[in-house]
Amino acid sequence: MELNSIKPADGAKHAKRRVGRGIGSGLGKTAGRGHKGQKSRSGGYHKVGFEGGQMPLQRRLPKRGFKSQSLKFNAEVTLSDLDKLGLAEVDMLALKQAGLIGELAKVVKVIKSGALSKAVKLTGVGATAGAKAAIEAAGGSLA
């Protein structure tokens, strides 16, 4: 084998389609675009979702729903999460470091889900009425 005899495997390479280069190419005259119409012209095509002037589907359907952008600043922590954390004093920074709430969170609330066995002092963290009662029953407090 010589360097000048190296060739790619059969079928690995194929000739680029050259349109509009005469009858013999098989893609002469209209160059595979058919006859007349918007799609046969250069630069002639429609935008995505265009239905020929008919009211498009995305405009016929009713608008629905709303997603509040302030939700990303709110976070929830369960009683069982606080129990697993095992800290005597819990504030927002401790919850962020433990990965229980996101870095963007500004308002945190403890919800009554699970059980709390240790006394926990919460500072700068809110709680629902049920969670507050459970925290105080375990000997903890809210500040």
Q: State the pLDDT at residue 143.
A: 82
On whether residue 43 sits in a domain, the answer given is no
- pLDDT for 1 equals 82
pTM confidence score: 0.54
24 lies in some domain: no
Structural domain boundaries enclosing 90: 72-142
Residue 61, in any domain of the structure: no
* Domain CATH number, residue 99: 3.100.10.10
Q: Tokens standing for 98?
A: 């433990």
Q: Which helix (H) or strand (E) is 141 found in, with range?
A: strand 141-142
Walk along the chain (143 residues) and give the pLDDT tens digit of each residue: 899 999 999 999 998 999 999 999 999 999 999 999 999 999 988 899 999 999 999 999 999 999 999 999 999 999 999 999 889 999 999 999 999 999 999 999 999 999 999 899 999 999 999 999 999 999 999 98
35 occurs within a structural domain: no
Burial class (CB in 10 A: 0-12, 13-18, 19+), 140: buried
Structural domain contains residue 49: no
Domain count, the chain: 1
Is 21 within the bounds of a domain? no
Residue 17 and residue 63: Cα distance in Å, rounded? Answer: 45
